[in-house]
Amino acid sequence: MLIFYFHTILCLKKGMILNMGKRYYDITMAFSSGMMVYPGDPEVMVTDEKSISKGDPYNLSVLTFGSHTGTHIDAPRHFYDNGKTVDRLSLEYFIGKAKVFEIKDKEAVTAADLMNFDINKGDIVLLKTGNSAKPQTGRFDTKFTYVAPDAAEYLCRKGIRTLGFDYISVEKYNCEAPESHYLLLKHEIVIIEGLLLQDVAEGEYDMVALPVKITNGNGSPVRAVLIKENT
């Protein structure tokens, strides 16, 4: 996990001011060939199309991957043909105040686990579970903590706008029906999966997690960053 510290830098000639006392958390999975993917999804391949070392005038890579790879968003179109696509989603889903809540030692996050948290309409909620201690490379672990349908229903009733989670799916593996996805996406709650929250404490942060603007996209990788004021 990378943590960057910035001090006050005034660049008046360039018209730029970097604010003092902010801490940046990169909570994004690294993208590489052979990275972990959900079982059945396309494998990731990053190959050199042009290479300076081989005599080409520049470096250029070909990227092959599914739309729900690594740290990524699920748009409503992921499970609903008439759902909003990535390019039609408001930026407010991806930029704003985010609340990190930690739930330890649970097979599933349930509604009862969420009831004591300060969750309000319009919130961006990030759930940190035991998944954050799991390796984020190598084989997919089918025994990850998941979001139970009653928890998804509770978040729908609360009216949150975005749910972030610390594994590459919120759904129980090999379940009969993806009820949590159905509930959240039906209510146009965008899901961000694959967040790296191991080094992030509970609390409130500024979040930026922008997807690629894919026309008619059902999902997209994101570069997710949390920002915290130093105290």
pLDDT in tens, the chain (231 residues): 444 444 444 333 332 223 568 999 999 999 999 999 999 999 999 999 999 999 999 999 999 999 999 999 999 999 999 999 999 999 999 999 999 999 999 999 999 999 999 999 999 999 999 999 998 888 899 999 999 999 999 999 999 999 999 999 999 999 999 999 999 999 999 999 999 999 999 999 999 999 999 999 999 999 999 999 886
Tell me the C-alpha distance between 75 and 91, whole Å: 12
Residue 228 per-residue DSSP state: E
| pLDDT at res. 190 | 98
CA distance 189 to 196: 20
The pLDDT of residue 164? 98
- For tokens 């996805």, the residue is 181
| Residue 226: predicted pLDDT | 97
What is the pLDDT, as a whole number, of residue 20? Answer: 63
Q: Is 80 exposed, middle or buried (0-12, 13-18, 19+ CB in 10 A)?
A: middle
Which tokens in the block code for residue 169? 């799916």
How do the domains of the chain map onto residue ranges? 3-229
Give the pLDDT of residue 136: 80
Q: How far apart are the first and last CA of the chain?
A: 21
Q: How far apart are CA 143 and CA 134, in angstroms?
A: 10
d(CA 186, CA 124): 17
C-alpha to C-alpha distance for 186 and 86, rounded to whole angstroms: 15
CA-based diameter of the chain, in Å?
61
State residue 135 phi and psi, 5-degree precision. -60, 140
| CA dist., res. 106 & res. 112, Å (int) | 12
Q: Does domain 3-229 have CATH number 3.50.30.50?
A: yes
Tokens of 45: 């391949």
